[in-house]
Amino acid sequence: MLHYAIVFLVIALVAGVLGFGGIAGSAVGIAKILFLVFIVLFLASLIMGRRGRV
C-alpha cells in the first residue's frame, strides 16, 4: 500500500511540473489517503503482534 502512495505522489509531482494542476491535485489527494490507510494498518498490526506474544 505504501508503494501505491509513493506512485501517486510521483505522478502528482510529474503532473505538477508539466502544468496539469487538476491531475496533480487529485493524485496528491489519493496519495494522502493511501498513506493514512497504510499508517493505520501498520499501527494495528504492530499492536496486534505485541498482544499475541504476551
**What residues have CB less than 8 Å from 12, skipping those under 6 apart?**
23, 24, 25, 27, 28, 31
Helix axes 21-53, 2-18, angle to 10 degrees: 160
CA distance 6 to 35: 8
pLDDT digits 0-9 by tens, 30-47: 888 988 999 999 999 888
Q: Taking the chain, what is the end-to-end CA distance rounded to the nearest angstrom?
A: 29
Instruction: Give dist(CA 51, CA 44) in Å, integer.
Output: 11
- pLDDT of 53 > 70? The answer is no
Query: How confident is the model over 3-33, as pLDDT tens digits?
Result: 888 888 888 888 888 888 888 888 888 888 9
